[in-house]
Amino acid sequence: MLLVCQAIVAQTITVKQDSTGDYIHIQDAIDSAQDGDTVLVWPGSYYENLIINDISIVLGSLTLTTQDKQYNTQTIIDGSADSATCVVIVYCDDFVELNGFTICNGWGHWGSLPKGGGVFFKYVTDGSVKNCIIKDNVTSLSGGGIDITRSNVYLSATNIYNNHAYCSSGGVYVENGRLDFDSISRCNIYLNFSAIGSDIAQFDPSGENPPVQVIVDTFTVQTPDYYYLMDGNNMGEALSYDILHSKIETVKQDLYVSPNGNNSNSGLSPAEPLKDIYFALLKMETDTISPDTIHISNGIYSLNDGEMYPLSLKRDVSLKGTNRDSTILDANNTIYLLNGIEKANNYSIKDLTLTNGNGNLHTYFRTGAFRLWDNKNVLFENLKVTENKARYISGGAVVHCNNARFINVEFSHNIGGNPLRLTNGFDQYFDTIYVNDCQFTENLPDSSVPNEGLGGDVVLIGQTWSDAPNKLTAFFTNCLFANNRARLLENGGGGAAAFHAAYSSQAYLINCTFSENVAESPTSVSIGVTYGSNMHIYNSILYANEPIEIGVGGEEEYPCSLNIYNSLIDGGEEGVKYISDYNTVFYDTETNIDEDPLFLGEWEHPYQIDNGSPCIDAGTINLPDFIEIPEFDLAGNPRIVGGSIDIGAYEWNPTVDVDEADKVLLDKLLQVFPNPAENIVNLSVNPGEEQKIVIYDMAGQVVLEKTVSQASLSIDISIWKQGLYLFTLSEGGRMVQSEKVLVR
């Protein structure tokens, strides 16, 4: 009898924009509906953000009654990119059906949940989407097209494409829910993009729902891996699938991208470039045997111009710009730029600028430029990470990335949290990270964020338990930390100004320079060692940092250790602050220096040491066997000359203190050609008094000494080993010029 009564009262409510129906707005019709009703919508563009809450209804276009699918292109629910989802369906214990609409331009957000750009299901027992087109929607969290949270949803004859999620799944995201596909009237899901799981991702920590089996007619690629179909319960594995056709033919070879390219091009040569980097990532097939590279031409790749950030980095696929300063990835102050999904190993990122990333607006991770999670054997080289912001990590977050390497990366003018944070996550991992020839300069706090955005210190975070020391070990070599600032909090505390090793991490600082970093809190330091961490400093300069150079603060359960050798410490032993009693500190009084390092103070490298610096030849090359001494310093000069090494990130260069006019003259004193050379090297010298040519190999050993007696001479190098050599010219015992020569 109850069923009969429901059938009697069920009605069809019409929506027509010409006022001939029951309503002109869809939401008004939904609000008037009772369980079992049908809301039938006539063609038109409806600029609405709909909410179906705790009611069982069918919402359809004329496709529902006529079976004519053309109505789904004529009946449009347009979210107007108005910070809200197009259609929200929540707390429905019975059936809810969408049938025959185009759902577009949604910006996924309902209440406090930034989910589901097009459609968001939450706590829906029996939902279905039929004969719909879901396109051009965006969400900052999950499900650019559809988000299914704790719901059961059935998809039939629906096209889901060109949707974007800043976090998980540009197409369809399923969290603790169930998704089933019509195997007869198949869907099409393609060219969606997100940081994690570009088209479909399922995460089911509850274990209550079966893995999604994807059954579609057309998908982005024919044989997708987890990059496209993410099985969140088995990271690195793809969901199962039955796919008939694909939009993209993948390739296993290098691809080329240009701002003037077109995504309909092949992308296989510079003459046929693609337009967007994200599209190249979708097109590139992972090849673990022969990894490939996406070559990026000079230009600006902007979120406003169609690029999709964050770019989801793919294992065995590298990104390489043309020139660091003119190949620019720009997130338009909206979202961060790069995301290394779990198990994305063995790739490199080179020759790029990462700028205008924002981790405060639309990301759960609060990271400004990049975030790497469980990425092994990756290389970031010759990059500029600048003018990004985020309250936690203004530059990059690196979590559980063993053998990650950062070489010649400039972190500058980032605002908020740490410019670089290294951690091994929350599990029992042993990770080692290498940071060489990097600069951390003028990274600043964000005082507009209460108790966050502390400022510009690089942070290492290991583990918090004492039985797992040194889980994270990081080597910083030839690095400059200058003019960074940490803020003062309302409670009087604050962060370290330049560097902080915490929670059982271990740091090696080799030939680094720290200067003019300022912690605004009087209780803070430039470099901090806390919570069971160990730090070893060799050949480094700590000078003119405020309020003090270095602080050690262990606890009874988590003691700290600090060892300093062959370094210049402003204030000497007094420059080390004991924040607690649980520390072991060794300060080598025989090799450490407390003097003015005599920085050059001008030109491209103002923290180079000048003539007469006490740092000249005061370093040691007798380092532990596992520490590699680099060939060159931060300015590209040979790191070891004459068997000795200087203190700091730079070797003394005897030509850096002359003015520009003198430099022009010095450039003409010695000319070496050919370079590279194979058998004979020719030298042309402007004659002077007491001139001598001294040639060193890269180990700093003298290969040849020759007094200059004529303006030109030739040297037979046919028996020399291949590699770089340093040709120097001295006058009166003072070196006046040096040239690097590559011998093949």
User: Which of 587, 620, 647 is the last residue before a domain boundary?
Assistant: 587
The pLDDT of residue 105 is 96
Element (H, E) at 92: strand 87-99
pLDDT at 738 over 80: no
The pLDDT of residue 274 is 98
Element (H, E) at 46: strand 44-46
What is the rounded CA–CA span in Å between residue 58 and residue 131? 13
What is the rounded CA–CA span in Å between residue 728 and residue 726? 6
pLDDT (tens digit per residue) in 606-633:
999 998 999 999 999 999 999 989 889 9
Which of 397-406, 633-642, 690-699 is predicted least confidently? 690-699
Determine the average pLDDT of the residues in 506-513: 97
User: Which of 571, 587, 603 is the last residue before a domain boundary?
Assistant: 587
- 665 shares its domain with 564: no
Q: In this structure, are strands 255-257 and 292-296 parallel, antiparallel, or unpaired?
A: parallel
Q: Residue 479: inside a domain, yes or no?
A: yes
Domain total in the chain: 3
Confidence of residue 3 (pLDDT cuts 50, 70, 90): very low
CATH of the domain at 236: 2.160.20.10
Q: Residue 626: inside a domain, yes or no?
A: no
Indicate the average pLDDT of the chain. Answer: 90
The pLDDT of residue 381 is 97
Question: Closest by alpha carbon to 455, among 492, 499, 425?
Answer: 499
- 344 shares its domain with 242: no
User: Which of 555, 587, 619 is the last residue before a domain boundary?
Assistant: 587
Q: Residue 255: inside a domain, yes or no?
A: no
- Look up the pTM and report it: 0.86
What is the rounded CA–CA span in Å between residue 212 and residue 233? 11
- 667 shares its domain with 579: no
Q: Residue 617: inside a domain, yes or no?
A: no
| Residue positions counted in the chain | 744
What is the rounded CA–CA span in Å between residue 493 and residue 503? 19
Confidence of residue 660 (pLDDT cuts 50, 70, 90): very low
Q: In this structure, are strands 431-436 and 404-412 parallel, antiparallel, or unpaired?
A: parallel
- 562 shares its domain with 697: no
- 684 shares its domain with 555: no
Phi/psi at 252 (5° precision)? -115, 65
Domain that holds residue 523: 319-587
Q: Residue 532: inside a domain, yes or no?
A: yes
Q: What share of the chain is helix, strand, coil (3-state, %, to 5)?
A: 5, 45, 50
What is the rounded CA–CA span in Å between residue 654 and residue 407? 26
Confidence of residue 698 (pLDDT cuts 50, 70, 90): low
High-pLDDT (> 90) share of the chain, %: 71
pLDDT (tens digit per residue) in 479-501:
999 999 999 887 777 888 999 99
Q: Residue 633: inside a domain, yes or no?
A: no
pLDDT (tens digit per residue) in 322-346:
999 999 999 999 999 999 999 999 9
Determine the average pLDDT of the residues in 437-451: 91
The pLDDT of residue 82 is 72
The structure tokens listed for 616 are 């000249």
What is the rounded CA–CA span in Å between residue 706 and residue 602? 34
Confidence of residue 464 (pLDDT cuts 50, 70, 90): low
CATH of the domain at 665: 2.60.40.3080
Peptide bond into 224 cis (omega under 30): no
